Amino acid sequence: MSDKLLEVKDLRTSFFTHLGEVKAIRGISFDVEKGESIGIVGESGSGKSVTSLSIMKLLLYPGKIVGGEILFNGEDLVNKTNKDMMAIRGNEIAMIFQDPMTSLNPVYTIGDQIAEAIMKHQKLSRKEAHERALEMLKLVNIPDPEKRIHNFPHEFSGGMRQRAMIAIALSCQPQLLIADEPTTALDVTIQAQILDLMKSLNAKLDTSTMLITHDLGVVADVCSRVVVMYGGLIMEKGSIRDIYYEPRHPYTMGLLKSIPKVASDEKQRLIPIPGTPPDLLNPPTGCPFYARCEYAMRICNTQQPPYFKSEDGKHESMCWLLHPDAPKNEKYELLKGGVKIGK
Amino acid sequence: MAKYIVKRIISAIITIWFIMTLTFILMNSIPGDPMSMGKALQPEVEAAVRAKYGLDKPLIEQYLTYLKNYTHGDFGVSFQKIGLTTNRIIADGFPYSLKIGGWSSLFIIVAGIGFGIISALKQNKIPDRVMMIVSTLGATVPSFVFATLFLYVFNRKLGWVPSFGAGTWKHYIGPVLCIGMFSLAYVTRLTRTSVLDVLQQDYIRTARAKGLSEGVVIIKHALRNALIPVVTYLGPMIASLITGSFVVEKVFGIAGIGSLFTTSITNRDYTLIMGITVFFGIFIVIATLIVDVLYVFIDPRIKYD
């Protein structure tokens, strides 16, 4: 138990819109161990970002956590008041957002924005906080930091702004860093730099990471374990090996087939997953992927599958095909042995 | 910055010259002239008067005389108010308008921005709904209706304020409120929209994710950004409030510059029309310049080189 930093248990989050309750997260459980990097993948609307905002308790009206527990160092965050959360946010759990172009306040200098969190949580003076901010800028490899600390966000490039965001997030040495699509808005070359930076700093500062992305390539690069989300539920979770080489859920297989591969010599079309995600205002009673699944059976439409675990219990998949009584599907069995990447 | 201000002053002079030219053309193209008022004059008398005020000269010469006199700050002699210079008339009327407009501006800045913020933070709750209804009324009810209503209630019924003149501070309550009604409503709405927009921004989420309190998030991170569009409106607003309002000054019986301007047009008092137009023009140009300079301090993205 003691090595678990974050444990999410049966978390449910809904948005109470005037059309009705949109069940964005419908009972998810996963954990993050100390010093570990975990990836959460899924397409738009799968509930990835809502998961991270629920953990930070930054959901805006009309979003609300309606059930479950979020244990952080054994303490349940769901019941914490906003005041308690203020001492945790930015200090023990920090967050990096998707769009560095809009995530920094345009009217304050980079230095002020980094120093702000330091002053709040570490009770340092303005001067000490700015010295610390300067160290952070050096740490995230901003060139000429003594000058750059006085710059405003618009004087930074996208990659530099994301570095500044990382500097803000890591300035108080948080135990958990939630990175919500940190590289989506950046050029590919900058993406790699930012990911490398995150990896090396997390190792240096002993921070656990929760990386939210729709890019399986990014996850493979940074994380040791993966959670695949769809329709507000976790479809499959396991180690990088489990998910990439032995996927057992048709959705995960579909995701893997839709990644472009540079290494392949053959001209190969990407295989998209046909259809659209389910409407979470009226979520399906069965498997959320039923409507788009090429192996769907009758039971998939009516009953939500349980998690079927692998022998070591670490690879869990929510799919009826894994039931001992399920009919064998040749194609599925073949893919289960590993989606040959590029085929 | 200094270079920028010099550039702006040069462009302001061009703007004012343009305003003068346009006003000159317009006022000479409306039917009638200073002589067409009241009973007809004997032809010799009329010719003498025309000669005295230079109205017998060709238009282009009259125009050039205006320009020449204005460069010395000489606004000329009024055609209708015998013996009074335009400078004198403006100097007499302006203090009243300045006082009304100044207090009104101050009131709008404090109350309008305050109401707007409260409204935004209580979005769709009762305080917001009430303020939105009131501000819709404020923006749509004409000032003469509001002024009449004000006098009826606070003068006739309650007897709290005097009805006429500009003697004590009580005289100013009505004019200050009436002249500012529309702008107050507008600033309230503008602030509300702007604050709501800023609160949706990603950097507000970043500020919250740092663990800052809601008060710091709103005052430090949201307001400074939200007030940028409001400041844009405030410059011209203050200029227009300070230059008075014909309707409000008439209803409350104040001899301000707003009513002067309107009567000077109906009287075809050419020098006074020109004088007040240029005076207003200078005012608005200065107000806009001040706003543009203020921007630099509010928004670091703006730089003038």
Q: Residue B71: its pLDDT value, please? A: 84
Q: Residue B38: its pLDDT value, please? A: 64
For the four alpha carbons of A16, A19, A20 and A25, in that order, the dihedral sign comes to negative
Residue where a domain terminates, one of A192, A223, A254 = A223
A320 and A217 in a single domain? The answer is no
A210 and A257 in a single domain? The answer is no
Strand pairing report for A225-230 and A4-17:
unpaired
A188 and A289 in a single domain? The answer is no
Q: Residue A343: its pLDDT value, please? A: 35
- Residues 77-106, chain A, touching B (beta carbon < 8 A): 82, 85-91, 94-95, 97, 99, 102-106
Residue where a domain terminates, one of A223, A254, A274 = A223
Backbone angles phi and psi of B242, in degrees to 5? -70, -25
User: Do the domain assignments include residue A257?
Assistant: yes
For residue range B247-270, list pLDDT tens digits in order: 888 888 888 888 888 888 888 888
Residue span of the structural domain in which A269 resides: 244-336
pLDDT averaged over chain B? Answer: 88
User: Do the domain assignments include residue A5?
Assistant: no
DSSP class of residue A104 equals S
A169 and A302 in a single domain? The answer is no
A267 and A147 in a single domain? The answer is no
DSSP class of residue B77 equals B
Considering only CB atoms, A107 lies closest to which of B208, B210, B224, namely B224
Considering only CB atoms, A97 lies closest to which of B205, B212, B300, namely B205
Amino acid at A270: L
Question: Can you tell me the distance from the alpha carbon of B289 to that of B9, in angstroms, rounded to the nearest whole number?
Answer: 9
A216 and A255 in a single domain? The answer is no
* Core vs surface per residue A194-216: b (16+ CB within 10 A) or e: bbebbeebbeeeebbbbbbbbbb
Considering only CB atoms, B203 lies closest to which of A89, A103, A152, namely A103
User: Do the domain assignments include residue A22?
Assistant: no
Nearest to A151 by CA among A185, A99, A106: A106
- Provide Rg for chain B, Cα atoms: 24
Looking up tokens 């990088």, which residue turns up?
A240
User: Do the domain assignments include residue A73?
Assistant: no
- pLDDT band at A264; cut points 50, 70, 90: low
Is residue B125 less than 8 Å (CB to CB) from chain A? Answer: no
Considering only CB atoms, A95 lies closest to which of B209, B213, B221, namely B209
- pLDDT band at A265; cut points 50, 70, 90: low
Contact B206 A103 (CB under 8 A): yes
A143 and A275 in a single domain? The answer is no
Considering only CB atoms, A117 lies closest to which of B201, B211, B221, namely B211
pLDDT at A277 over 90: no
Q: Which residues does chain A have within 8 Å of residue B212's beta carbon, measured at their own beta carbons?
A: 86, 90, 116-117, 120
For chain A, what is the domain count?
2
DSSP class of residue A287 equals -
Considering only CB atoms, A102 lies closest to which of B203, B212, B214, namely B203
Q: Residue A1: its pLDDT value, please? A: 45
Q: Residue A236: its pLDDT value, please? A: 94
Q: Which residues does chain B have within 8 Å of residue A109's beta carbon, measured at their own beta carbons?
A: 300
Ordered structural domains, chain B, with CATH: 93-266 (1.10.3720.10)
Whole-angstrom CA distances from B128 to A154, A237, B75, B120, B218 are 34, 46, 49, 7, 17
Q: Which residues does chain A have within 8 Å of residue B203's beta carbon, measured at their own beta carbons?
A: 102-106
Of chain A, the percentage scoring pLDDT greater than 70 comes to 95
What does the pLDDT average to over A141-163? 93
Q: Which residue has the higher pLDDT, A40 or A325?
A: A40
Edge-to-edge strand ranges of the sheet holding A20-33? A20-33, A4-17, A63-72, A75-76
Smallest CA–CA distance from A152 into chain B, residue: B300
Smallest CA–CA distance from A88 into chain B, residue: B211
Contact B211 A95 (CB under 8 A): no
User: Do the domain assignments include residue A18?
Assistant: no
User: Do the domain assignments include residue A71?
Assistant: no
- pLDDT band at A117; cut points 50, 70, 90: very high
A39 and A183 in a single domain? The answer is yes
Question: Can you tell me the distance from the alpha carbon of B161 to that of A274, in angstroms, rounded to the nearest whole number?
Answer: 75
Residue where a domain terminates, one of A223, A255, A286 = A223
Contact A173, A91 (CB under 8 A): no
A219 and A253 in a single domain? The answer is no
Question: Can you tell me the distance from the alpha carbon of A77 to that of B216, in angstroms, rounded to the nearest whole number?
Answer: 23
Is residue B126 less than 8 Å (CB to CB) from chain A? Answer: no
Of chain A, the percentage scoring pLDDT greater than 90 comes to 59
CA atoms within 13 A on the CB side of B278: 26
Question: Can you tell me the distance from the alpha carbon of B257 to that of B244, in angstroms, rounded to the nearest whole number?
Answer: 6
User: Do the domain assignments include residue A300?
Assistant: yes
Q: What is the CATH number of the domain that holds A144?
A: 3.40.50.300
- Residues 200-229, chain B, touching A (beta carbon < 8 A): 201-203, 205-214, 221, 224-225
A213 and A161 in a single domain? The answer is yes
A182 and A256 in a single domain? The answer is no
For residue range B147-173, list pLDDT tens digits in order: 999 999 998 889 888 888 878 888 888
Contact B87, B80 (CB under 8 A): no
Report the residue of A77, A103, A119, A176 to disrupt the B interface, i.e. the one with the largest count of B CBs within 10 Å. Answer: A103
For residue range A18-29, list pLDDT tens digits in order: 999 999 999 999
Question: Can you tell me the distance from the alpha carbon of A140 to that of A212, in angstroms, rounded to the nearest whole number?
Answer: 20
Residues of chain B whose pLDDT is less than 50?
Answer: none
Task: Report the complex ipTM.
Answer: 0.86
Contact A86 B209 (CB under 8 A): no
Q: Residue B236: its pLDDT value, please? A: 87
Contact A320, A282 (CB under 8 A): no
Amino acid at B133: I
User: Do the domain assignments include residue A292?
Assistant: yes
Q: Which residues does chain B have within 8 Å of residue A103's beta carbon, measured at their own beta carbons?
A: 202-203, 205-206
For residue range A319-334, list pLDDT tens digits in order: 999 988 888 887 788 7
Whole-model pTM? 0.82
A110 and A212 in a single domain? The answer is yes
How far away is chain B from the Cα of A201, in angstroms, using its nearest Cα? 19
Report the residue of B121, B194, B205, B206 to disrupt the A interface, i.e. the one with the largest count of A CBs within 10 Å. Answer: B206
Is residue B156 less than 8 Å (CB to CB) from chain A? Answer: no
